[in-house]
Amino acid sequence: DAGVIQSPRHEVTEMGQEVTLRCKPISGHDYLFWYRQTMMRGLELLIYFNNNVPIDDSGMPEDRFSAKMPNASFSTLKIQPSEPRDSAVYFCASSLIRQGSSYEQYFGPGTRLTVT
Amino acid sequence: RKEVEQDPGPFNVPEGATVAFNCTYSNSASQSFFWYRQDCRKEPKLLMSVYSSGNEDGRFTAQLNRASQYISLLIRDSKLSDSATYLCVVIPTGGFKTIFGAGTRLFVKA
């Protein structure tokens, strides 16, 4: 059974360019989370969706960041324009949350973004 | 003050040792608690949930103290394969805005 799929795995881009990160959650999961991980700030929640609807985007650093989930099997995180300080590993995670469930989040392998 | 704080580590222990990690959280209205494990350059994976009554999974024991707002993880009989970063995770009440601690690195040596 496929886990969470993210693409690309590595992205190197120049400052000012648009970057789009993609995520395919585990089939049947109803929650999707986007995280950013850096040495300085650790793992930070950027935004999460429930049934394709954004629930909390308070972690999105600024207007340059946007996320969409057009359907249950696909989500994107876009940075426009990108800046060197956006360099990080971006993780997508999905979960099936029900009363009495473990609330476990399954993470994808991450996208390592470098902005030069 | 950070919402979730952990022992910074690193912890360097020999095989067979017992090691304990602590984590404190600031929001008393927190509903769910977890320990995740992250290997170098890999994604985090759930190690175990933490329940009010405490829970054990093999060599791992997790405890929750709501009054003092801390959770702990105890690893007995450490193995080389336990070397990783352990992340404390808290979810406040009223949603799933998941908060990760900065992590504690563990190195188990032969």
Taking only the tens place, the pLDDT of each residue in B74-105 is 999 999 999 999 999 999 888 899 999 999 99
Query: Mind listing the pLDDT tens digit for each residue in A82-110?
Result: 999 999 999 999 999 887 777 899 999 99
What integer pLDDT is reported at residue A59 of this predicted model? 94
Q: How far is CA A44 from CA A36, A38, A60, B18, in A?
A: 5, 9, 9, 30
Considering only CB atoms, A104 lies closest to which of B43, B46, B99, namely B46
User: In chain A, which residues touch B (CB < 8 A)?
Assistant: 31, 33, 35, 42-45, 48, 50, 55-56, 58-59, 91, 95, 97, 102-105, 107-110
What integer pLDDT is reported at residue A17 of this predicted model? 98
Q: Residue A34: which residues within 8 A CB-CB, separation 6 or more?
A: A23, A45, A46, A47, A48, A67, A75, A77, A90, A91, A92
Q: Average pLDDT, whole number, for chain B?
A: 94
- Asked whether B4 and B101 are in contact (CB, 8 A), the reply is yes
What residue in B sits closest to A40 (Cα-Cα)? B102
Residue B102 CA to residue A14 CA, distance in Å, equals: 29
Question: Cα angle vertex B67, ends B65, B72, to 5°?
Answer: 20
What integer pLDDT is reported at residue A39 of this predicted model? 92
What integer pLDDT is reported at residue B16 of this predicted model? 98
Per-residue pLDDT, averaged over B35-62, amounts to 95
**Closest to B102 (Cα-Cα) out of A39, A33, A36, A107:** A39
Per-residue pLDDT, averaged over B19-31, amounts to 91
Query: At residue A1, does pLDDT exceed 80?
Result: no
What integer pLDDT is reported at residue B94 of this predicted model? 84
What integer pLDDT is reported at residue B30 of this predicted model? 84
What integer pLDDT is reported at residue A4 of this predicted model? 98
What 8-state DSSP symbol labels residue A98?
Answer: -
Asked if B97 lies within 8 A of A48 by C-beta distance, the reply is yes
What integer pLDDT is reported at residue B1 of this predicted model? 73
Asked if B32 lies within 8 A of A103 by C-beta distance, the reply is yes
Asked if B98 lies within 8 A of A110 by C-beta distance, the reply is no
What residue in A sits closest to B35 (Cα-Cα)? A104
- Percent of chain A beyond pLDDT 90? 91
B81 at A interface, C-beta within 8 A: no
How many residues are given for chain B? 110
B1 at A interface, C-beta within 8 A: no
What integer pLDDT is reported at residue B52 of this predicted model? 85
- Asked whether A113 and A59 are in contact (CB, 8 A), the reply is no
Query: At residue B58, does pLDDT exceed 90?
Result: yes
